[in-house]
Structure formats: C-alpha cells, structure tokens
Chain A
C-alpha cells in the first residue's frame, strides 16, 4: 500500500469517529432543558458536551493530516461530506428512543474504542485510551437506564427499531462483538440489514443547517 492511501484511510477513520461524536453530542444536547428530571438534564447535557469534546480532539488529529483545522472540519463541509453513521443523525423525539440510542451508541463505541486502543497508530491509540476514561461514565449512565428500562415495552421496541442503525456504527468485523454484548442478533444472520455509513438520513441536513448557521453567517470570522 502506498503512503497517501494509508493517510487517507486514517483521515477517513478519524472523520467517521469525530462526526459520530459531534452529531450524537449535538442530538443529545437537544434535550437540554427538557429531559425528564433536572438531574438527568444536567447529566445528559454534560455527556453531550463530553462527546463534542471528543469530536474536537479527533478533528484536530484529522486536521493535521488534511492541512486544515478542527472548526473547518466540523462546520465547513457539506452534509454529504460528513462520515457519521445514520444512528447519530436521527431526530428522536421521545425519551425511550433517546435512551435506546444512547445505550446502543455507547456499547458500539466501547467495541470500537477497545479495538482502537490496541491500534499500531500510537497517536490514535493514545487518544482512544483518553476518550475511554470519560466514556466509562457515559456507559455507567447508559447501562443504568438500559437495565432499568429493560422490561419496558417502549424501550425494548426502541432498541429493536434502532438495532440495524447501531450495527451501522461499526465495521463488519466488530459487529458480532456488539451483538454479543447487547444480546441481539448480528447482521447477516437473517433479513436484518444494517443502516450503513455513507448514506445520510434527511434529518442530517436539517441538523447541519442549524449547527452551521452562525458560522456560515460570517465566513472566516474568528470567535
């Protein structure tokens, strides 16, 4: 393999990770002020901020490689250029689905981070380990909710509905591990079709419009 291809593969991977974290953080932040309890509101908003912080660190790594900066990567691309998985794009309007996504995303992210921690890329492995130290508490939060709602039909339905999307967060080789962790069937074993990365839901354009509005209003401004 030649050098540039290797680099573009790495940049691509970094953008996938960063876009997932940015968009899930953005979506979760939409609950600020309206979560079911004050305590949950504070926690959920804090977790959303952490995810966006992870996105920034990942964009910074990608930016070095791509000769740009983190803000440009986060805000100056067109919606079609984003590499996030459809799971994080969905505009979920009820708490059962929101917690189902948070839970499934955390579990998928754990599988992915575990793999990255043992990467040959020392920089990426180091950043994965750093991110993982915060994700421990995100998982604690998500797993508490999942354990508590496990028997609730609304939550179970939401998890089942979002499962194909959750599979789409991971590359194929990591999906069986995710299925094992959450106790659901892996893709390929039936008619189940993962919601793959690369195609976007209509919800992303809407989110993008709002997210980049201020930045687009004054291109090149320093904040």
Chain B
C-alpha cells in the first residue's frame, strides 16, 4: 500500500490532559489526512489505557511559533536565579507560624 498522497497529509500536535483540571501537556504528534483520522488515531495512541482525560489535536500550521529573543544588555536583575530565597523563605514561614501560635495559644508543630 503506498503512503497517503503527500498533499493530504497533515501533522497534528497532540496535547494530553491527564486528569480534569490539570494543564494540557504536549504528548507527541501524528500525521493524518484530516481531523477525523487524527481523532481516531489519537484515541488509540494516547487514550487506550485510560491515560488521558482529554486531548487537544492542533494542526501544526495553526501553531504560531516564537523562537527569537532579544536580550542584548544581559539584564540579570530581571531573573530570579541570582537570589537565594531558601533561607529567607524558611525564616518567613517560621515567623508566620510563631505569630499564629501566639494568637491562638496553639503550640507550633
């Protein structure tokens, strides 16, 4: 059997939601001649073990891609990776917990 004629083939990006309410995540892609085939194939490929609550099938052409970024002046202060917040966060939590036990008379765990 020859492959489907090239003009009829379209790439669909498949996004999968594992449970209701969770974000959709890119699961893979498939090539199909139309949305109906894409659905039939995606159901079997990404849903046959009950692993998906929902799927989004997006024709790759419909994806507006952004890949170029300007960061000419190396503005490090916009990024958070230079700051050590671990210790300060712990301190803040402890403070909040102390305040709470003072107010309620409960002992902090």
Contact = CB atoms under 8 A, between A and B. Distances in A.
A39 B31 contact: yes
Nearest to A45: B44
B59 interface: no
Contacts of B3: 36-37
Interface of A is mostly: helix
Nearest to A95: B1
Contact of A144 (B4, B40, B45): B40
A172 interface: no
Interface string B10-46: 0000000000000000000011110011011101110
A39 B1 contact: no
A144 B36 CA distance: 7
Interface in B32-88: 32-33, 36-37, 39-41, 43-45, 48
B21 to A, nearest CB: 24
Nearest to B4: A37
A39 B46 CA distance: 11
A141 B31 contact: no
A151 B44 CA distance: 26
Contacts, number: 43
Contacts of A42: 41, 44-45
Interface residues of A, number: 18
How many residues of B sit at the interface, in one of the four size bands? Answer: 10 to 19
A121 to B, nearest CB: 29
Contacts of A46: 44-45, 48
A177 interface: no
A184 interface: no
Given A46-B48, A137-B40, A36 B1 contact: yes
Contacts of B44: 42-43, 46-47, 137, 141
Interface in A109-148: 137, 140-141, 144, 148
A37 B32 CA distance: 9
A41 to B, nearest CB: 10
Contacts of B30: 38-39
Contact of B31 (A37, A47, A95, A148): A37
A129 B45 CA distance: 24
B43 A137 contact: yes
Nearest to B45: A42
Nearest to A40: B41
Residue among B3, B4, B36, B48 with max Cβ neighbours from chain A (10 Å): B48
7 contacts: A39-B31, A42-B41, A42-B45, A94-B1, A95-B1, A141-B44, A144-B36
Given A36-B3, A37-B4, A40-B41, 16 more contacts: A37-B3, A39-B30, A39-B31, A39-B32, A39-B37, A39-B45, A42-B45, A43-B41, A43-B45, A46-B44, A46-B45, A49-B48, A95-B1, A96-B1, A137-B40, A140-B36
